[in-house]
A and B are shown apart, each in its own frame.
Chain A
């Protein structure tokens, strides 16, 4: 019985090897970034060496003592978290509607939502700048969080709809017969069933908002300036400060890694049938 309850099918004998080889390859550029962050600049550009000749933590010290670095880091964390939660909250009911009901214009609306992810940002920048200044959202965390809903809400609706449609409709009907109201069914039964989708959605919203640079930079100046914008300013008279840039790069991985650590169980567990 133990072998039968294994979950997602049989494992191939070499699957483990293939996977960890892939992860090792994936880690090489990250490792390189880390090695750059603990080396002085002249060593980075000097000559090739796998192991750093001189190890320094000056770059990390600079990052945590310079307020323009660490405050922009915090800004990014604040607006990214706001965006992820807001996107999920508006997307959940919409995704449910798309997966369960037919209504006037549903297919067109769904595709129209997707198209908003296809807009080239370069020319949207000027309109964004003008609108956000006129409504008083310029240089606020809320402003960036709302702006990033442009591409995260469609994505969230889309991912959630994909997963919800995979869940048999009989479950809704059984719950209705058992006397569950729609909101109660949604929160008590349906949400736990799609937790892998919620985990993935939260992570993707966090991720896309975290790495976005162009829009976030355009609609902020000081108070809500993102970390990625601070990174573009490492060019000084002496050239690019590679070590500091790599340090910031290493540190930008940390919050997302924490997020995925928290949602990992949602992603990995999936759902089991017969909960109703």
Chain B
């Protein structure tokens, strides 16, 4: 059967240049008019260790990695060989081939490097190939690379072989290599690319059906990761200060910002720890600059105290929480949506933070901008939650999407002229920054910035009076507390008042019997599953939720009322989003079944399809070994 999509997996040792090669290949596919989606899998190891990148290319839109794949390029792990003894580290050397076979679709293609992989070490390769109708090509990519350049260039040989097998034009790949590679390595790479391509055409007869699909874009496209989305959203919203401490996968956002902030006239600081990082963001914001920080679970735990200070002192900041599987250091390079409650409730006292969870790179851009806008308008911390999956996956987005105005507006800040008329304490020069009057009735009292004439005030993490002085008076406490808490309600009504700008994504038919609810990066797989379920005759619609705090009460109530039952899909073991939904809405407990996955890998659409079918048939057994169904309460 001819497939309308290519899912190409390049597997090898981490550190073998798989990332850059696949990035170029994905761009070549995008330039040829296809929609692409990349997924990256890597171990928590710097060099060596089995890793792969998957590129899915289709004429229609793609927003998930899909199920399985249909083309394997197995490169061999050059770091697996122990140089001293000429020995192998276990079976690392053949892992690129053995580890990947389970997911390869029927009729798929395998290309492996005979220079590094001995097929005799791969159990049952021939039998399995025959059973699954795989087309297997053992090619000495290593020798080809060595002959014309260096061994690492076997990636390029693999691309040449791929292009020949899929009947692809080499032009785009050549152009990309020309712009990405320095002269010295460009020539040998081009030679290798052509050599491999021509060799395949001359020496092999192809009887496989897989070809690269045909497509066309109406607009210019760019290939953007979730981390790019967050960083570019921050830059366009006028963020000019970042402080951070490395932790996977947050490091991606931090790195992109650090690379560009100086050229954008901003400041990036790598500091001693995450407490300092968040505290620096607070200091910069207090002084009048849009500032951000962020981390992953463990580092975010350290930020909970400065986060509380941001709430109490009403200092706007944006924090990014790039989740990975926990608890503790967990699975450092694997995704999970397990930090939801941590992000919503960590730090002392009643929380009045904003939390957004984008699901795609383009949403990451939009919602990071929204996070800054609202944080500065309402003088409160906003958290953008992403995860290892979203941070590393790439998607093509029309270039024009980024054609937006920058927004350097600091929100509720008074100018010196305005300060002259602002309330001051009669006995001194102090500006009543925390005045009991609420000019807009939204909880926000405009601030001044250090250095402004006539604007001086004190701010403290303790409860304080109008001028910002420590104050334990019960009446003042209640007023200040209520004003702070009111801001969250104000944001909720601001978001509700403009349905056009809803952050929730709806898909499937308008009317349906069943619903699927998901949040953050699991959305792509759910979208695809919903299409398949409806094609199979089910009646399903779904919502991907991005507003976590304030929770979209009205929208979710309407959605859940309109369906008989709903499946809540999320990557954690304790059904945290379902818990949030029930807590916020105070109902629907009996309608919600959870489909959970926490093995370190994101959902594949087929798992959701299967989970759904089991659920509507009243089943409770998990659809696969690595997922779990959690029945509705009272079921």
Do A and B pair up? The answer is no
